[in-house]
Amino acid sequence: MHDVVVTWEEGKQICVELGGMMVVPQSEEELQHIINMCSCQAWPWFWIGCNDIQTEGTWVCLDGEIFDVQDEMWSDSEPNNSNNEDCAVGVGSGWFDWQCDRTSKSICQRHASPAQQLM
Ligand SMILES: [Ca+2]
Ligand SMILES: [Ca+2]
Q: How far is the CA of 103 from the centre of ligand 2 (A)?
A: 14
Instruction: Judge contact between 34 and 105, C-beta under 8 A.
Output: no
Q: What is the pLDDT of residues 12-52, one digit of tens each?
A: 999 999 999 999 998 888 998 888 877 666 677 899 999 99
Domains present along the chain, CATH in parentheses = 2-110 (3.10.100.10)
Instruction: Judge contact between 23 and 117, C-beta under 8 A.
Output: yes
Closest to 12 in 3D by CA, of 59, 47, 40, 58: 47
Q: What is the pLDDT of residue 93?
A: 83
The ligand placed nearest to the CA atom of residue 78 is 2
Q: Which residues sit opposite 30 in a β-bridge?
A: none
CA distance between the termini of the chain: 4
The ligand placed nearest to the CA atom of residue 86 is 1
Q: How far is the CA of 95 from the centre of ligand 1 (A)?
A: 13
Cis ω on the peptide bond leading into residue 79 (within 30° of 0)? yes
* Buried/exposed 11-28: b ≥16 CB within 10 Å, e otherwise: bbebbeeeebbbbbbeee
Q: What is the pLDDT of residues 65-79, one digit of tens each?
A: 998 888 889 999 999
